[in-house]
Structure 1
Amino acid sequence: MQHEKFGEKDFQYIIGNLLRYGVWISLSVAFIGGIVYLMGHSNDIENYSVFKENDRNIFEVISTIYNGAIQGNGESLIFVGIILLFLTPVLRVLLSLFSFLLEKDYLYVVITLIVILIILISVSFGFSH
């Protein structure tokens, strides 16, 4: 029996499915969160002339969102959907890194690591004051 090597087509198939299902799952979670939110807040009147910024660190925000999503809070579920939508292409970049490592294509490994570093720096500076 011949053992097949995990190839580029396998990674392309996995990456394609990751992107496809990642978008559908994130949209579904956000949609369900929207329905839950509207069921509880359909008569609320929002004042959009005032913007409130939260001065919390990323760990507090993630903890609040996680706890809210577990409790079925609509706003938290919407935010989880947005986070999943953001993570979908990030996971695609990570999968590409492993693909390039298996192919021993070190130029693209370096380029992919630079992209990952840029994403990490962007997220870090986005939550710092």
Structure 2
Amino acid sequence: MEKSKVMQHEKFGEKDFQTIIGNLLRYGVWISLSVAFIGGIVYLMHHGSEIEDYSVFKENDRNIFEVISTVVNGAIDGRGEFLIFFGIILLFLTPVFRVLLSLFSFMLEKDYLYVVITLIVILIIITSISFGFSH
């Protein structure tokens, strides 16, 4: 009887983590879309009558930390284009947070095979971000 209570508690903990992860994904997407939508409204209110010239591509040579810093500061200032970018960053970070939460869950469950696999996934994400912004 004592052993079944322990097993039920472990299963309850796994189910809790699955619920938390599901909510993280659900609310992360809704929050990021809401931020981007509000940013679009703000942008159109201030720049709706302007015509953008897309004939010339403007490349950005800054590193990822400068870009994120600029976007966060612009979002704090309430600038529409930066609110849109911030929403996109939140949308990108939602599955990354899911992977980090999964890592924490696997560590608590002492499932070391999945801890290693999740660490490899995190390493791949970090590598792809690093090479994506380097020239």
Q: So what's the TM-score if we normalise by structure 2?
A: 0.89
Name the counterpart of 2:65: 59
Question: CA-to-partner distance for each residue in 1:6-36, whole Å, 9 max, x for gaps?
Answer: 7101100100110010000000000000000
Q: Which has the higher helix share?
A: 2
Name the residue aligned to 1:93.
Answer: 99
Could you tell me which amino acid in structure 2 is paired with residue 45 of structure 1? I
Q: Distance in 1 between matches of 2:68 and 2:25?
A: 23
Q: CA deviation at 1:51?
A: 0.5
Structure 1 unpaired stretches of 5+: none
Alignment-mate amino acid for residue 97 of structure 1: L
Q: Deviations over 1:43-65 (max 9, x none)?
A: 11112121101111222212211
| 1:1-129 matched pairs, under 5 angstroms | 7-129=13-135
Q: In structure 2, what is the Cα distance between the partners aligned to 1:62 and 1:52?
A: 18
User: 1:101 Cα shift?
Assistant: 1.0
CA-based RMSD: 1.6
Higher deviation after alignment, 71-80 or 54-63: 54-63
Give every structure 1 segment of 4 or more consecutive aligned residues whose post-TM-superposition deviation is greater than 6 Å: none
Q: Which has more radius of gyration?
A: 2
User: Hey, what's the Cα distance between the residues in 2 that align with 1:68 and 1:51?
Assistant: 22
Aligned residue-pair number: 128
Separation in structure 1 between the aligned mates of residue 65 and residue 29 of structure 2, nearest angstrom = 25
State the TM-score, normalizing by the size of structure 1: 0.93
- Rounded Cα–Cα distance in structure 2 between residues aligned with 1:90 and 1:116: 8
